Structure 1
Amino acid sequence: MPNQSSRPEILRSTRPSERLCYATGAVLTLSGLVHLLVFAVDGGPWDGPVSWRKPVTFGVSFGLTLIALTWVTSYLRIGGRTRSVLLVVFAADCVLEVGGITLQAWRRVPSHLNMESGFDTAVSMSLAVGGGILVVVLSVFAVASFRRRPSGPTGMPLALRAGFAILIVALASGAAMIARGVILTKTGHQEAAYHSTAPLKPLHGVSLHAVLVLPALAWLMSRTAWSGGTRISVMRAAVACYAAAVVAAGIWAAITY
């Protein structure tokens, strides 16, 4: 029986854990889009710690990331049971993050770095713990991509390794935002804590989705008549461009932080 990681189609899985993750990702994405309609009807500020932007962006971002991760990890040479457990944990954590953020948006209070009440503190801390779990799961997948060469069409191994390497930048910038915000909150600078994350948001956002964009490009090129050499050249150029965008966002963060 061939290894499932060598199958070429995106929606090729039959594992219950994969179907669960795809469905969960779709629901989270839909939730984000629904809240975009809520924003259109209800109005209010788009920026700031209390706005409909957060359930929109986090719902769509977490939903797409869950779908992408479920797909791209099928190319990793990792045990099927281990992968299933990690994906289910990741999916549950995505639901926790988006659910907590959405709940606080409807309550009209900040979701992150909010220690105003016992309940708000519990939500904020659960989001922080959930962020830690995300870092652990994604780091395990990243290490797996470098320990053994991933399978897939020409360009996919490079796309996966570059995508996961850039994803680590997203995790690091996210951890930095939380750490600085918590320090400011604990020292009585609540308002400053809410605004302290702004410089790192572009870096975090750009680097977060490389693991989706680059493998998607590799998959699309596999549907063309291009030679293997051409695909590799295009993928190298795409990785270089994406890395340049991440560096630019990093420089912006350093200047404005």
Structure 2
Amino acid sequence: MDLRQLEYFVAVAEEGNFTRAAERVHISQSGISAQIRQLEHDLGAILFDRSSRIATLTTAGRAALEHARAALTSADAVRQAVDEVNELIRGRLVVGMVTACAATPLFDALSEFHLAHPGVEVALIEGHTDLLVERVRAGSLDIALVGTATAPPAGLETLPILSEGLVAAVPPEHPLSSRRRVTLAEIGRHPILCLPEGTGIRTALDLDFAARGIRPNIALQASDPDAVADLAVRGLGVAILSESMVTPHDDRLRKLRIADATTPAVLALVWSTDANPALREFVRYSRKVFA
């Protein structure tokens, strides 16, 4: 008796017909009949009543069916467990990261994961949030660290990491530099320097301006927050970034609170609900380091 014979037995029992069962398991009718006869010989009992066109289980067949299904389920579980171990031995993990985000805990998680599972190939790809989310949904990325200002992307698992408000940054000689707090309307009278569309901070900025009916003058955009800060230092406009992005430039820029900017910029990990073993393990490391 082997698993293949049990699979054929269950197929005939569920189909009630040798021909349909043979089609289901991709074998000839004569082949499945021979395997069932061999199984009956091994068990010492007739499993099907063949006196009509319908293959009906005998008493012995009914007694065997539940156990045959359980054996097949257990075999599948063994296969899955081994597959999961193999994926953690020689799998692949593709991680996305929003452009110019120095997320040290993410690097810590990657390091710990690599040390524990050196056989898993790890790839790190940068991009804007919209592109990263699209690639996670498409399956070309396993997980991504993204910036967002709206609800978490639908259909994906999410682990929020950080939530920050927007701030304005200007050089000491700027007309607003003596202020500690400004409004969006006041900022809107000056050229604005910001991150491009598709980033969480830009989305938050656009939502806040739109809510107040303000059409800002977006003078220059750069994907690197440090580049946006450098442009502000040179007097090209008011930089709009998160507080943590401006802090490294406190010696060159004045940080201004935006009184009516209410939409936070959120940094979060997103991944597919259909997680593979390597991804599930990496999420576990990520939860630990980001805690």
TM surpasses 0.5: no
> If each structure's helix is expressed as a fraction of its own residues, which one has the higher value?
1
Q: TM-score range by the shorter chain?
A: under 0.3
Superposition TM-score, scaled by structure 1 size: 0.21
Larger-Rg structure: 2
> If each structure's strand is expressed as a fraction of its own residues, which one has the higher value?
2
Instruction: Point out which structure has higher relative CO (alpha carbons under 8 A, 6+ apart).
Output: 2
